[in-house]
Chains A and B, each alone.
Chain A
Amino acid sequence: MERVMGGQKEWLYRLGRAWVAFFLLGEIVVFSIIGTGFFSARNFQNILVAATTILLLAAGETFVIITGGIDLSVGFVMGLACVVSAKIMVMLQAASVSQGLSILLGCASALLFGLLPGLVNGALVAKLRVPPFIATFGMYGVAYGLSEILCNNVPISGLPPLVGFIGNGYLLYYLPGKALTFFSPPQGIGRADIRAMIPLFPNVFVFSIIAVAIFGFILARTQFGQHIYAIGGNIDAARRAGIPVEKHLIRVYMISSFFAAMGGVMYTLRFVTGRADAGAARMLDSVVAVVIGGASLYGGTGSMVGSIIGTLIIAMLETGMVNLGLPTYNKYVYVGIILVLAVLVDQFFPEFVRKGE
């Protein structure tokens, strides 16, 4: 007794399933019309940079939520990685290691270290059957406590100057009709030229989107990705089908905390400081982004593209409201409403059933 959609309504269902994309489009149109200077390459790039934290956290959270779990620790794991990377850079610099190497080692070790919370979360969830909410909430406390202890409750400063250069730099600098350079602005240009120069592709966004794209590919195209959907859909069936559920779950939580660590590292690069609370406020934003993007907290559904769109909806809202001069607290209200609407819309538009190939 399969539900068959009337051909007439097919477009309606397609619209319902893709409503987030339209919503994002609507947001862009509205802000472009009523905001000043919203519709510009510079502003859009600012939005992308501002979105990187949520984007990274949401990318990892997508994996976890598809398995039917949740990772509450990402915000503070991000803070931990931020503190660790900053601390290592400062230490190496003090040991007169070159700036570049300090930064590279700082970032790399923070990313490696970031796998650890995920390993613990995953082991708790998969092996000890601790509910994900509890396991990752435990890690939330542990990660926060650790990072505050590491930085003595004071943001870490005194990082190599190159950090900010990388974190706030762009991949390309384009001076129309005159020059096009990689990584740094053209040498010896005048003040007028600086104003006319168009920087393209912010570094942190480029790093982030590459990682997100790779893992988006893994989720959508590989066997591992397929198994994750299977685990979220019916964990018993997955187990009986011989899928190594425990191993996959551990991997999933490690992916999540890796992305959180990457969020921390990007924060360090952008703001040239190590803060324990760097991602505190972003954990729930990332869950919201994933859910707006079509994932269900019951598991089994969700996609990287959806999460990216969800992220952009939130980031666009934030920047758009700042652009309009509206107080930012309204953002929390709107995000709350959009979140609930997202779930309601999802329920009113049932799964699309194809009538035959």
Chain B
Amino acid sequence: MEGERRPLLEVRNIVKRFGGLVAVNRVSMEVYPGEVVGLLGDNGAGKSTLIKVISGVYRPDEGQIFFEGREVRITSPMDAIRLGIETIYQDLALAENLNVYSNIFLGREKLKKLFNLIPVLDHEYMMQESKKVLDRLGIEIPSLRNKIKTLSGGQRQSVAISRSIYWNAKLLIMDEPTAALGVTEQRKVLNLVKTLSAQGVAIIIISHQLYDVFQVAHRLVVLRRGEKVGERLTHETNPDEIVSLIVGAELVEGGQRG
């Protein structure tokens, strides 16, 4: 799938330090349109720091970021969103007291003029548009007038994802999307990831659940102690190899030799 196509996102030699600690050390990776990349690593391996650099929360100390072939400087989350990089954090950033379509349009509400004068919320439009995007992604939610607090964890996840897609996310970064979900819901979210990928959205997925990542990712990038220690195409590797990369080869090899 990579072939001669141009990567959507490319990071080169990213370094991020906190005081004396090097959280990310000269990491490079790229993501192609429609590709799902699994970002793996133990706690403290630097995954979160890396995605926070990409999504504009942190500024890198060294290195370059290219998006759609052009070098970009991402200095704030708003910069990232403007480029089309959306991050779905574990807390989902939804207003639970508002309904589904209001959350999809949160902060970017569609307005209409009442008596050609007073701008008011255009509920009908927001509802229809939201319906369209949910249908396109095959997401089922009984009614878009339901408040988020009445939805299940998986449904909430879907709403958060739909919001990014509606606002033209080209690259979606998902932090532990299945962590807090039941089995059925996990499957639904993974199916959604596949649907998105088929529609050309690139996805970086961080997860501790190797099984999930193997199901949806095309390529896996493994970090350990801030460095990139491996990169494999999913169909050319297996969970054992990835685990040994994650925890450090010498440990597992030691065990095997014994």
Q: Tell me, rounded to whole Å, the shortest Cβ–Cβ distance linking B91 to chain A.
A: 15
User: Does B18 interact with chain A (Cβ within 8 Å)?
Assistant: yes
User: Does B107 interact with chain A (Cβ within 8 Å)?
Assistant: no
Identity of the chain A residue whose Cβ is nearest the Cβ of B23 in the assembled complex:
A1
Identity of the chain A residue whose Cβ is nearest the Cβ of B19 in the assembled complex:
A1
CA distance A1 to B19 in the complex (A): 8
User: Does B1 interact with chain A (Cβ within 8 Å)?
Assistant: no
- In terms of DSSP, what is the predominant structure of the interface of chain B? strand
CA distance A1 to B48 in the complex (A): 15
Question: What is the total of A-B residue contacts with beta carbons within 8 Å?
Answer: 3
User: Does B21 interact with chain A (Cβ within 8 Å)?
Assistant: yes
A residues in contact with B18, CB < 8 Å: 1
Identity of the chain A residue whose Cβ is nearest the Cβ of B21 in the assembled complex:
A1
The size of the chain B interface, using a CB distance under 8 A, is 3
Task: Type the 1/0 row for B10-44, where 1 means its CB is closer than 8 Å to any CB of A.
Answer: 00000000110100000000000000000000000
Q: Tell me, rounded to whole Å, the shortest Cβ–Cβ distance linking A166 to chain B.
A: 55
Q: Tell me, rounded to whole Å, the shortest Cβ–Cβ distance linking B241 to chain A.
A: 32
Identity of the chain B residue whose Cβ is nearest the Cβ of A2 in the assembled complex:
B19
Interface residues of B in 99-154 (CB under 8 A from A): none
A residues in contact with B21, CB < 8 Å: 1
Q: Tell me, rounded to whole Å, the shortest Cβ–Cβ distance linking B63 to chain A.
A: 21
CA distance A1 to B18 in the complex (A): 8
CA distance A1 to B49 in the complex (A): 13
Q: Tell me, rounded to whole Å, the shortest Cβ–Cβ distance linking A277 to chain B.
A: 39
Q: Tell me, rounded to whole Å, the shortest Cβ–Cβ distance linking A16 to chain B.
A: 23
Identity of the chain A residue whose Cβ is nearest the Cβ of B18 in the assembled complex:
A1
Q: Tell me, rounded to whole Å, the shortest Cβ–Cβ distance linking B80 to chain A.
A: 23
A residues in contact with B19, CB < 8 Å: 1
Task: Type the 1/0 row for A1-23, where 1 means its CB is closer than 8 Å to any CB of B.
Answer: 10000000000000000000000
Q: Tell me, rounded to whole Å, the shortest Cβ–Cβ distance linking B37 to chain A.
A: 27
Q: Tell me, rounded to whole Å, the shortest Cβ–Cβ distance linking B152 to chain A.
A: 21
CA distance A1 to B58 in the complex (A): 15
Q: Tell me, rounded to whole Å, the shortest Cβ–Cβ distance linking A353 to chain B.
A: 14
Identity of the chain B residue whose Cβ is nearest the Cβ of A4 in the assembled complex:
B19
B residues in contact with A1, CB < 8 Å: 18-19, 21
Task: Type the 1/0 row for A245-285, where 1 means its CB is closer than 8 Å to any CB of B.
Answer: 00000000000000000000000000000000000000000
Identity of the chain B residue whose Cβ is nearest the Cβ of A1 in the assembled complex:
B18
CA distance A185 to B212 in the complex (A): 85
Q: Tell me, rounded to whole Å, the shortest Cβ–Cβ distance linking A236 to chain B.
A: 15
Interface residues of A in 1-59 (CB under 8 A from B): 1
CA distance A12 to B64 in the complex (A): 41
CA distance A1 to B20 in the complex (A): 10
Q: Tell me, rounded to whole Å, the shortest Cβ–Cβ distance linking A162 to chain B.
A: 59
Q: Tell me, rounded to whole Å, the shortest Cβ–Cβ distance linking A161 to chain B.
A: 60
CA distance A42 to B21 in the complex (A): 61
Identity of the chain B residue whose Cβ is nearest the Cβ of A3 in the assembled complex:
B19
Q: Tell me, rounded to whole Å, the shortest Cβ–Cβ distance linking A21 to chain B.
A: 33
Q: Tell me, rounded to whole Å, the shortest Cβ–Cβ distance linking A148 to chain B.
A: 39
CA distance A283 to B47 in the complex (A): 51
CA distance A1 to B44 in the complex (A): 12
CA distance A232 to B21 in the complex (A): 33
Q: Tell me, rounded to whole Å, the shortest Cβ–Cβ distance linking B139 to chain A.
A: 31
CA distance A1 to B23 in the complex (A): 11
Q: Tell me, rounded to whole Å, the shortest Cβ–Cβ distance linking A209 to chain B.
A: 47
Q: Tell me, rounded to whole Å, the shortest Cβ–Cβ distance linking B97 to chain A.
A: 16
Q: Tell me, rounded to whole Å, the shortest Cβ–Cβ distance linking A1 to chain B.
A: 5
CA distance A1 to B21 in the complex (A): 9
3 A-B pairs whose Cβ atoms sit less than 8 Å apart in the complex: A1-B18, A1-B19, A1-B21
Q: Which residues of A are interface residues toward B (Cβ below 8 A)?
A: 1
Task: Please name the 3 residue pairs, one residue from A and one from B, whose CB atoms are nearest each other, closest first.
Answer: A1-B18, A1-B19, A1-B21
